[in-house]
Structure 1
Amino acid sequence: MDSKYVILHSSEILPPSRGDIGRARRAEVFPLEAAQPIVKLEYAELTKRESNDLRRDPRTLAIAKPMPMKLIAPVGSLDAPTATKSWGIDAVRASESPFDGTGVTVAVLDTGIDPNHPAFKGMKLVQKNFTTEIDNDIHGHGTHCAGTIFGQDVNGVRIGIARKIKCALIGKVLGKEGGSSDTIAKAIQWAVQEGANVISMSLGIDFPGYVDWLVHDQGMNINPATSQALEEYRANVNLFTELVRVVAAHGAFGQSAIIVAASGNESNRPKYEIAVSPPAAATGIVAVGALNKSGKGFNVAEFSNNQVNIAAPGVNIISAKAGTSGLISMSGTSMATPHAAGIAALWAQRQLKLTGRINNVSLMAQLIASGTFDSLVPGSEEDDVGTGIIQAPLK
């Protein structure tokens, strides 16, 4: 029986067993001309033999069955916050920075956006819908995340890190039923091709959901289902790792992008800690952990997964509420990630000012190196917070 695969490869590959079947059954092609040979992301229905042949082909960078993706859902929310500024703005020193995101393009791959919210007034929002839902955000998650990155002040309350970003790419990749890893891969390619400098993703692989599908929909026993899910999990981590390498290759040709992603909310500290989940677990993606504030400094949020690269404010974050003209407070590594994307935009603007271009390698290095332990509670562990809480450039 044939199965759907997502294939990342260099140059033209055809399954040797059935001649021209690769061309005949290909769903979509996204050429990436940043490096030679040309790298392509393709989708195809393949037999087991064909997929095995492709795995052995040295031109195949990654091959994986799509896995379900889900929101890294907020762990709590609160309507009608009364603060005059989201506390994360000061915590990452965005309020002290001379940079505001001018000239930088950010992509948000999430549940879409409410383009009519006053937080986005006057902005150019390039929307692309990868789901079967309506184009705009009906869940509120993507709108909240976008507001933290580049939202304008709402009723005198500052919510956005990089408030002078004028163009944002909004990829709606998750709907009521979630999404899939092949859709996320496709959306990353779209964002890069549209000129994104920073890509923000607050989503993760739904491993339990995939196991449940194998058991209940495919009739597998739990043990082989778990084993197969683990193999596809590994294959998808490799897919995103290789895809990020291809994205990074664009930097040498004038188009750069870095990807920041939420580490996940599966931990329950101090009882147990869970490692960062894909796609944030892929090499080359900046995994973001969440911080809370306390009387002794900022500390890791009880839900935040570990093995992160950096940390950012992620508890009781005020931002735009979809479907209204107001605000809402949410908590999660989903809320920490847009802080990182916004700070990355400030560092990218600084690069533009100093050099006239954005280099993705140095941008990622600057973002991670900006982290500091100075404002964290004593005894914070690198495994939980990476290099520490990210900081905006001050000069």
Structure 2
Amino acid sequence: MVSTPSPVKNSQTQLDLREVLRHFTSNSSHPNRLRWHPALNKEDGAGMRVALLDSGISGTDSQLQSAQIQARDFTGSGGVFDPTGHGTKNARLLVAQGIDGFWGLVPASVLLVGKVLGTGVPHRGAEALAKGIRWAVYEKADVIIMPLGRIRGTTVVTKAVRLAIKAGCVVLAAAGNRGAETLLFPARLSDVIAVSAADINGQPLNWCCQMPQVNCYAPGLEIGVRGKSTSGSSVATVLAGGVETLYLASGVRRSLIDN
């Protein structure tokens, strides 16, 4: 368990994600920081459905073997396998089942993994993402997490996001890692919670988006387990999505961006 003042400095340390978030909440003074409420300590995501739209998922990852996962490929790659490991790492943060003592934030939730990255063609990538969003709505996702983004917006994705919002889904997307003054799509769409990354003490990372439209800053520096860490607005978006799921389960507030 991590209990030091700077718990994510050593990526070899076995992270307790809840401890990281409590530390973040208590040490950050940024008004848009992700907040942890004591009522969340007793929540595990039971009864919630969370969609992760990413690069796929490994079917052999030991930390995910007993998790409730439904996966579908929208890239035409022939399967939900994860060629980059990005989606698998993010899935662990959400539903890891306690192997080696590491638990995801919402281990009792149903995780809907949509493989939407990896088409290699921009217009096909947009269509894959839109299909993934529509699938998440059809599968009655409570929260849709998109740890991804691009410079150019597309009509097909915008329409899918609007459909999700109308259906009552909470939608989060990565604000981006392309500098402080660049906000990516679809995070810049209205009603999407745009998430950027900060260090464990709440200082925004200088290479991540810091535009006024950023709704939430979450931990995003060297987050990981088994000596493998990741940084940036993608991992911050996943953690924020996990906390949002806990808030919805607890009924403490309507959304993590509510005061």
Which TM-score tier does this pair reach, normalised by the shorter chain?
0.7 to 0.9
| Distance in 2, Cα, partners of 1:123 & 1:154 | 11
Supply the distance in 2 between the matched residues of 1:332 and 1:171 (Cα, whole angstroms): 21
Secondary structure at the aligned position of 1:288 is classed as strand
Does the CA-based 8 Å contact 2:224-2:230 persist in structure 1?
yes
* Cα distance in 1 for residues equivalent to 2:64 and 2:227: 13
- The offset of 1:132, in angstroms, is 3.1
What per-residue deviation string (whole Å, max 9, x for no partner) do you get for residues 45-66 of structure 1? Answer: xxxxxxxxxxxxxxxxxxxxxx
What corresponds to 2:145 in structure 1? 200
Residue matched to 1:262: 174
Match of 2:235 in 1: 335
Percent of pairs with identical residues: 30
User: Residue 118 of structure 1 aligns with which residue?
Assistant: 62
Q: 314, 319, 337: which one pairs with 2:220?
A: 314
Q: Which amino acid aligns with 2:234?
A: S
Q: Please give the alpha-carbon distance, in whole angstroms, between the structure 2 residues aligned to 1:345 and 1:138.
A: 27
In structure 1, the residue matched to 2:182 is 275
Letter in 2 for 1:277: L
Give the number of the structure whose alpha-carbon radius of gyration is greater. Answer: 1
- Does 1:171 pair with 2:88? no
Map of 2:52 onto structure 1: 108
Would you say the 8 A contact 1:241–1:283 is kept in 2? no
Q: Which residue of 2 aligns with 1:189?
A: 134
1:41-100 CA-to-partner distances (Å, cap 9, x unmatched) read xxxxxxxxxxxxxxxxxxxxxxxxxxxxxxxxxxxxx99722343463433547862211
**Which residue of 118, 129, 139 corresponds with 2:73?**
129
Shift of 1:116: 2.2
Describe the SS at the equivalent of 1:300.
coil
Residue 204 of structure 1 aligns to a residue in which SS?
coil
TM-fit CA distance, 1:195: 1.4
Distance (whole Å) between structure 1 residues aligned to residue 127 and residue 136 of structure 2: 14
**Counterpart Cα distance in 1 of 2:10 and 2:115:** 24
Q: 1:241 deviation in Å?
A: 4.3
Q: Does the aligned pair in 1 maintain the 2:129–2:157 contact within 8 Å?
A: no
Instruction: Tell me if the contact between 1:204 and 1:278 (Cα under 8 Å) persists in the aligned partners.
Output: yes
Contact between 2:67 and 2:96, CA under 8 Å: does it hold in 1? no
Give the aligned length.
233
TM-score by length of 2: 0.80
Q: Does 1:286 align with 2:193?
A: yes
Alignment of 1:64-143 (within 5 A): 81-86=12-17, 88-90=20-22, 91=24, 93=36, 97-133=41-77, 134-143=79-88
Which residue type is aligned with residue 123 of structure 1?
A
Cα RMSD between the aligned structures? Answer: 2.6
Q: Is the 8 A contact 2:202 2:217 kept in 1?
A: no
Cα distance, 1:81–1:107 mapped onto 2, change above 3 Å: same
Structure 1: gaps (5+ residues):
1-77, 208-232, 251-255, 268-272, 320-325, 355-361, 371-395
Alignment of 1:338-353 (within 5 A): 338-351=238-251
Which whole-Å deviations, capped at 9, do the CAs of 1:210-269 have from their partners, x for residues lacking one?
A: xxxxxxxxxxxxxxxxxxxxxxx35x2x6544433322222xxxxx311101000011xx
Q: Distance in 2 between matches of 1:149 and 1:123?
A: 10
| Match of residue 4 from structure 2 | none
CA distance in structure 1 between the partners assigned to 2:182 and 2:83 by the alignment: 30
8 Å Cα contact 1:150/1:342 also seen in 2 = no
Is the 2:75–2:118 contact (alpha carbons within 8 Å) kept by the matching residues of 1? yes
Sort the Cα spacing of 1:242 and 1:132 in 2 relative to 1 into closer, same or farther, 3 A: closer
CA distance in 1, matches of 2:184, 2:15: 34
TM-score normalised by length of structure 1: 0.54
In structure 2, distance between residues paired with 1:146 and 1:339: 10
- Find out whether 1:305 has 2:231 as its counterpart: no
Greater strand fraction, Structure 1 or Structure 2: 1
Report the CA distance shift for 1:187/1:84 in structure 2 as closer, same or farther (over 3 A): closer
Q: CA deviation at 1:202?
A: 1.2
